[in-house]
Amino acid sequence: MSSQTLVSDTFFLSGERLDRLRQALKVAGHQARVAQHGGYGRHVEDALAEIEEAVIDHLARIENALEDDKAEAEYLGEAERTRRAYFPHYEAV
C-alpha cells in the first residue's frame, strides 16, 4: 500500500442497466489511468495500462452493438412501429 493519503470517492450510477454498466466502466478506466501515475512498479503500471485499454475496448464494443441493434431495428421496421406507439395521436385517420 502506498503512503499516500487515502481519499474516499463517491459516485452514483443512474439510468437503465446498460447505462449504469457504461458509467461503471468509465469510472474503472479513469481509475486505472490515474493509478498508472501512483508510483507503483513497472509491472503494475503495465497491468493498469492494459486494464485501461480493455475498458476502452469494451466501451467501444457496447457502442458498436448499440449502433448495430439500431440499424437492424430500422431495417426491420421496428423503429417505425415504436415511434408510432409513442405518438398515436399524430397518425392520419
pLDDT digits (tens, 9 = 90+) for 57-71: 999 999 999 999 999
Q: What is the pTM of this model?
A: 0.72
Instruction: Name the average pLDDT for the chain.
Output: 87
Amino acid identity, position 81 = R
Residues 1 and 19: their CA atoms lie apart, in Å, by 32
- The pLDDT confidence band at residue 17, using thresholds 50, 70 and 90, is very high
- The pLDDT confidence band at residue 5, using thresholds 50, 70 and 90, is low
Q: Mention every residue, 6+ apart, whose C-beta is less than 8 A from residue 25.
A: 55, 58, 59
Please answer whether residues 9 and 24 qualify as being in contact, where contact means their C-beta atoms are separated by less than 8 angstroms: no
